[in-house]
């Protein structure tokens, strides 16, 4: 592959990811706005809807805000905005809202478990891609992924408990469900770290 062709392919990839990240944010904020206007149709009524309406925009915008305030000026390589990381850090909030809107968490038995595994993988991959040095070894990448993923999973489960589970019928099965969610989220984070390491060390042609 010639240098010009490789540059064109890279530019096309960046453009596609940028548009996907922006589209994900537009859809996310559209769903949040509709939840404010029609709360009964949002799928998050009775599931800490107020907390979600606050936390989800923060989660989706934390990387752009960090980049504007700090990353853009401190980037040693004068890199462009990390759109792939931004997309990966936006998708968990968007997919969770879509799952709630279509009531998949309550009607599909395996949906909640799958989401804890997959979405924590997306979030961890995005965070590592944005903030972790590229030269980390496989072992260090795994430890960082586990550290972030497990900590974030604990924070999420504690937040869920105080936001709505402690006063809902789900309290009866909360202990078992929480243990499963923590395990799946941590495994998803570990897998994401290992995949990201492999992608980074694989030569591009």
Over residues 99-153, the pLDDT tens digits come to 999 999 989 999 999 999 999 999 999 999 999 998 999 999 999 999 999 999 9
User: What pLDDT is recorded for position 77?
Assistant: 46
Query: Are 48 and 164 contacting, i.e. CB atoms less than 8 angstroms apart?
Result: yes
Q: How far is CA 38 from CA 41, 141, 169, in A?
A: 6, 43, 24
What's the CA gap between 65 and 144, in Å, rounded? 23
What residue ranges of the chain have pLDDT lower than 50?
Answer: 1, 4, 6, 77
What's the CA gap between 108 and 137, in Å, rounded? 39
Structure tokens at 123: 């979030």
């Amino acid at each position: 592959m010639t240098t010009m062709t490789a540059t064109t392919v890279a530019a096309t990839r960046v453009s596609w990811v940028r548009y996907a990240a922006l589209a994900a944010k537009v859809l996310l904020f559209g769903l949040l706005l509709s939840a404010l206007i029609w709360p009964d149709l949002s799928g998050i009524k009775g599931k800490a809807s107020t907390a979600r309406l606050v936390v989800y925009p923060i989660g989706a915008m934390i990387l752009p805000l960090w980049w504007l305030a700090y990353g853009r000026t401190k980037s040693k390589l004068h890199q462009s905005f990390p759109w792939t990381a931004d997309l990966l850090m936006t998708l968990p909030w968007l997919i969770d809202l879509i799952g709630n809107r279509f009531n998949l968490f309550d009607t599909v038995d395996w949906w909640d478990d799958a989401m804890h595994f997959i979405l924590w993988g997306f979030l961890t991959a995005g965070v590592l891609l944005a903030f972790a040095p590229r030269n980390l070894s496989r072992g260090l990448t795994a430890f960082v992924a586990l550290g972030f993923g497990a900590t974030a999973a604990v924070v999420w489960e504690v937040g869920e408990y105080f936001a709505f589970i402690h006063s809902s019928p789900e309290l009866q099965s909360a202990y078992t469900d929480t243990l499963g969610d923590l395990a799946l989220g941590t495994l998803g984070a570990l897998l994401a770290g290992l995949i990201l390491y492999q992608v980074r060390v694989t030569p591009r042609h």
